[in-house]
Amino acid sequence: MGSMTVDLPVPYMQLMINSLEIIGNFMHPADAYRSVLAMIRSGALEVTAISPKVFLLADLPAAMEAAASADSLECVVMKS
């Protein structure tokens, strides 16, 4: 995975002649959550290891600190 901050120069005629295409997206396709939800529903993806830390919106500074130091299986959630 990577990104660029400059234009990507491509040989347009070579793309056309060879029937090539460039497909891009940021991080994941927009509908990827559907596949994740389907895996959770089927039991193929175990999510009980994820440890949510729930904060009230009034505790935003503490939530930001928790998010900055969260481990890979911790999730910071805000609720009103």
pLDDT in tens, 14-69: 999 999 998 877 788 889 999 999 999 999 999 988 989 999 999 999 999 999 99
Res. 80 pLDDT band, cuts 50 70 90: confident
The residues spanned by each domain of the chain are 12-79
Euclidean distance between CA atoms 52 and 74, whole angstroms: 6
pLDDT attached to residue 5: 84
Q: How would you label 34-53 residue by residue, b for 16+ Cβ within 10 Å and e otherwise?
A: eeeeeeeeeeeeeeeeeeee
Q: Do 45 and 24 contact (CB within 8 A), yes or no?
A: no
| pLDDT confidence of residue 2 | 64
| Residue-level pLDDT at 1 | 52
Query: Alpha-carbon distance 23 to 48, whole Å?
Result: 34
- CA geometry: angle at 7 spanning 9 and 22, to 5°? 60
Confidence of residue 4 (pLDDT cuts 50, 70, 90): confident
